[in-house]
Structure 1
Amino acid sequence: MNKFMSVLEDILLPIADKLNNNRYLTALRNGFMVALPLIIFGSIFVVIANLPFLDRLIGEEAYATYQNALGPASAATLSIMGLFVIIGIGFKMVEQRGGEAIYGGVVALASFLVLTPQILEETAGVIPTSALGAEGMFLGIFTAFISAELYQLFVRKNLTIKMPAGVPDAVSRSFSALIPITLTLSIFLLIRIAFSFTAFETVQNFIYTLIQQPLTALGSGLPATIIAVLLIQVFWFFGLHGQIIINSVFDPIWYSLNEQNLSAFQAGEPLPNIVTKQFMDTFIVGIGGSGMTLAVIAAIFVVTKSRQLRELGKLGGPAGIFNVNEPVIFGLPIIMNPLVIIPWLLAPVIVAIVTYFAMDLGFAPKPAGLIVPWTTPALLSGYLATGNNIMGAVMQLINMAIVFVIWLPFLKVLDNQYYREEQSVQATA
């Protein structure tokens, strides 16, 4: 076991360190964090607009009016979430270099809009919301990275207008950004013109066909999901925040799949995807935190007798209800503890497989594309994430039972060890 852990540590820790310190992945992660409050706002109003049985209580016509009144909340946030992510990435990319971050955000947005087709069917001057949401997500990410780098390059080359002393600071900064922004947007305009002469016609079609579709198809499958879940657990075992590392890579895919489900849910159509952002966050991480340790806390109260574990359960229980599990990770401990590596790695993978097939077979509903705040307690989060479906909560309950059973024998071994140590200390006292 020690040799196996040593090999894992030698291989994975350098990779994790590079991923964690990669400025592009950091900007990507922070860009999504900028958009998160808006995404949650839109999700809350989708839930409110689709309350169960409300159509029967107030009538179909009143219900349609009610939904139309609340519709702009999601249309102005969830449907165009790509815009907020682009601004966030551009802002964070320039902020990392100590530049004028706000111009990084606006040049990223403007560059994306330059590349985006502004026509819907035969109506010019109209941008379809699909281009600003899931379909345009990957183009937006690449555009934000490249535009921010170009802007910073022109700034470093001193291609700026220097205003004389006495000019208001806001005016001076605006003119200073003029040439870098002009050059950056001109490059993207040339790219758009060049692609208009290709079979793809637009950069968006090129990115979507050659990159986004294949990656989305890969990320929506069970094998890639198992790998992602396993790596999250492995990184956490070595004391690294596995979610931050893996989410930086997979979030663009999972959010894209999420928005596809949301569009289908709002249209009353069958949901296309099982694996989405909320599949991961609600049915795996959202049961006490990474490793679904809420079930571990429940097992502590049921089977353990050592004072150390029972005190840990009292300390970690309230936090675990809201999916904060650092007390368990550092108090059990889980980090670098060979006694718990098997259940720690195995339980989330088994849960991911069981949940996937339960949704595939129709036993449990697929996530409806609603972003539920990560601190929402289990059962309630499962109910909300599946569009107010009680079977979402039932699926979470089943997942907790699976984790409980897998952890039980290993927790007993750990408890016996702690209990013997406590008895030995009492005997010598």
Structure 2
Amino acid sequence: MNSFMDKLGEKIMPLANWLGQNRYLTVLRDAFMLSFPLTMFGSIVVVFNNLPFFSDDLKGTLGNLFGNGQNATMSIMTVFVTFGIGYYLSKSYDVEGIFGGAVSFASFLILTPFFMSTESGETVSGVLSLDRLGAKGMFIGMFAAFVAAEIYCRITKRGWQIKMPDGVPPAVTKSFAALIPAVLTLTVFLFINAAVTGFFNTNLHDVVYELIQKPLTGLGSSLPATLIALFFVQFLWFFGLHGQIIVNSVMDPIWNTLMLDNLEAYQSGKELPHIITKPFMETFTVGLGGSGMTLAVVLIMAFFLKKKQYRDVGRLALAPGIFNVNEPVIFGLPIVLNASIFIPWLLAPLVVTTFNYLVMAAGIVPAPTGVSVPWTVPIIASGVLATNSWLGGLLQIIDFLIVGVIWYPFLKIMDKQVDVDI
């Protein structure tokens, strides 16, 4: 078994390392992290405005008073992501990041229609629709930001800049240095938008949304795709690679878009369109003790195993485990390259996620509303906050017990074989 795992690790390591170090995936991850504090603030506002014991009239009043807390953060997440992509990609090329971010954001806006249709069918010009800056514009925003930053950086690297004499203030020097690359980059996007609008009488937002974003989000919201993503998270962690970072760098754009769709529906009082969202993945997988849902594992080790080494690891890992930090048990048990617990490590998240999906699909427990709950929020509290229902917390307790049942026999076998080289 160990020999097979070693050979498998040798095959998978190069690909995993490439994914983990890929420039564009790293930039995308960092760009989403740029928006993290803002989405947290927006989520707190949404939770407060929609507490379950508030009356509908009170919720409406709070929405009028404090609704901009969400509108200015979560609802325009694409704004922060596009700027972040331009900033971090430019920095990765050793180009001034602030101008790269501004050019990327402006390029996205050039492709964005400045009009919207009302419910009565009337077209209002000179306005930006909120959904274009949120869920519906996410993929075109990422596309525009990456392309714009690449063009901007390549032109800058060629030295096509206006160089100011010594003694000119640095801010002025940098602005003039960015002038030619910025103008040329924005010109490219202006012609792209003109071509799409003039020849096809549409806009690139709608084209990308219909041809790329809707199919991808439809795939990402399915149970099979989610289980595949979870499988790779667990599989990579088994070899000591941070599976969460590697897989999420690919899946986060899809899961975040689904989250914004749910939030928009929730705010409008409509039925939630998705079960699988970013909060679902955070709350009902990571929220049970970290990657692999190891809070139950830690408690079993701390209080039900006989060997001191396991009890010590369990008790040391308990406090961070409550806040979903589980590196102490991953490397202390260890889980990494430990063939004797490969099966429960891989199996438990897949079983629990399938169970949660089916329970929510049946309407027994409400799906996450789209509120972004920090992954460090402890079990039960995170479930309640994510679903705006005590049933979310109850579901996490049931998940906890399922994980414990799956892991217990394997841990007991390890407890008896502690002196065996595993």
Asked whether 1:82 is paired with 2:78, we answer: yes
The Cα shift of 1:356 comes to 0.5
The residue that corresponds to 1:317 in the other structure is 318
The residue that corresponds to 1:211 in the other structure is 212
The residue that corresponds to 1:424 in the other structure is none
Map 1:87-102 to 2 at 5 A. Answer: 87-102=83-98
Tell me the distance in 2 between the aligned counterparts of 1:63 and 1:2: 57
On the 8 A contact 1:200/1:206 being kept in 2, the answer is no
The residue that corresponds to 1:45 in the other structure is 45
The Cα shift of 1:198 comes to 4.2
Tell me the distance in 2 between the aligned counterparts of 1:275 and 1:64: 28
Distance 1:200 1:271, change over 3 A: farther
Asked whether 1:162 is paired with 2:158, we answer: no
On the 8 A contact 1:111/1:147 being kept in 2, the answer is yes
Secondary structure in 2 matching 1:120: strand
In the alignment, residue 143 of structure 1 is paired with which amino acid? A
The residue that corresponds to 2:404 in the other structure is 404
The Cα shift of 1:145 comes to 0.7
In the alignment, residue 415 of structure 1 is paired with which amino acid? D
Tell me the distance in 2 between the aligned counterparts of 1:63 and 1:150: 46
The residue that corresponds to 1:228 in the other structure is 229
Secondary structure in 1 matching 2:67: helix
Secondary structure in 2 matching 1:99: coil
Map 1:283-294 to 2 at 5 A. Answer: 283-294=284-295
Asked whether 1:342 is paired with 2:343, we answer: yes
Superposed CA RMSD in Å reads 1.3
On the 8 A contact 1:316/1:327 being kept in 2, the answer is yes
On the 8 A contact 2:302/2:312 being kept in 1, the answer is no
The Cα shift of 1:369 comes to 0.3
In the alignment, residue 382 of structure 1 is paired with which amino acid? G
Tell me the distance in 2 between the aligned counterparts of 1:241 and 1:290: 9
* Structure 1, unpaired ranges of 5+: 422-429
Asked whether 1:104 is paired with 2:87, we answer: no
Tell me the distance in 2 between the aligned counterparts of 1:158 and 1:238: 44
* Structure 2, unpaired ranges of 5+: 118-122
Map 1:270-309 to 2 at 5 A. Answer: 270-309=271-310
Distance 1:200 1:373, change over 3 A: farther
* Count of aligned pairs: 416
Tell me the distance in 2 between the aligned counterparts of 1:89 and 1:157: 21
Map 1:177-196 to 2 at 5 A. Answer: 177-196=178-197
The Cα shift of 1:253 comes to 0.3
In the alignment, residue 351 of structure 2 is paired with which amino acid? I
The residue that corresponds to 2:65 in the other structure is 69
On the 8 A contact 1:367/1:385 being kept in 2, the answer is yes
Asked whether 1:13 is paired with 2:13, we answer: yes
The Cα shift of 1:197 comes to 3.3
Tell me the distance in 2 between the aligned counterparts of 1:34 and 1:112: 17
In the alignment, residue 410 of structure 1 is paired with which amino acid? F
TM-score (norm 1): 0.95
Asked whether 1:255 is paired with 2:256, we answer: yes
Secondary structure in 2 matching 1:54: coil
On the 8 A contact 1:116/1:204 being kept in 2, the answer is yes
Tell me the distance in 1 between the aligned counterparts of 2:2 and 2:73: 49
Tell me the distance in 1 between the aligned counterparts of 2:201 and 2:250: 26
Tell me the distance in 1 between the aligned counterparts of 2:11 and 2:65: 54
In the alignment, residue 65 of structure 1 is paired with which amino acid? T
Tell me the distance in 1 between the aligned counterparts of 2:200 and 2:297: 55
On the 8 A contact 2:221/2:277 being kept in 1, the answer is yes
Moved more, 295-304 or 157-166: 295-304
Tell me the distance in 2 between the aligned counterparts of 1:39 and 1:176: 34
The residue that corresponds to 2:25 in the other structure is 25
